[in-house]
Amino acid sequence: MITNNIQRDGKRIDLHLLGIRKSEPARKEIEETFGLVKAEGRKTKEQFSLQPIANRKVEYGKAESKKAINGVLNKVLFEYKYSSLPELNAVLNQYNVHADRGTEESRVFKNNGLLYKILDESSKPIGVPIKASDFYSKPTLKFLEERFKVNETKKESHKNHVKNAVRMAFYDGKIKSPEKLSEKLESEGIHMVLRKSKDGQLYGITYVDHKMQCVFNGSTLGKEFSAKGFLERCELSISYYEKH
Q: pLDDT, tens digit, for every residue of 60-71?
A: 888 889 999 999
Residue 44's pLDDT is 43
- Contact yes or no for 208/215 (Cβ under 8 A): yes
Q: What is the rounded distance in angstroms from the CA atom of residue 151 to the CA atom of residue 94?
A: 20
Check whether 98 has a pLDDT greater than 90: yes
64 CB-near residues (< 8 Å, 6+ apart): none
pLDDT over 70 for what percent of the chain? 81
Environment class of residue 153 by beta-carbon count within 10 Å: exposed (0-12), middle (13-18) or buried (19+)?
exposed
Instruction: Tell me what pLDDT residue 82 has.
Output: 97
List, for residues 100-120, the tens digit of each pLDDT value. Answer: 999 999 999 999 999 999 999
**pLDDT for res 50:** 45
Per-residue confidence (pLDDT) for residue 56, from 0 to 100: 77
Confidence of residue 42 (pLDDT cuts 50, 70, 90): low
pLDDT at 180: 85
Question: Order of strands, edge to edge, in the sheet holding 214-217?
Answer: 190-196, 202-209, 214-217
pLDDT at 45: 42
Query: Over 50: is that where the pLDDT of 241 sits?
Result: no
Q: Write out pLDDT tens, residues 126-143.
A: 999 999 999 988 999 999
* pLDDT surpasses 60 at 48: no
Confidence band, pLDDT 50/70/90 cuts, at residue 244: very low
For residue 192, is pLDDT > 90? Answer: yes
- For 198-231, the DSSP string reads TT--EEEEEEEETTTTEEEEHHHH-GGGSHHHHH
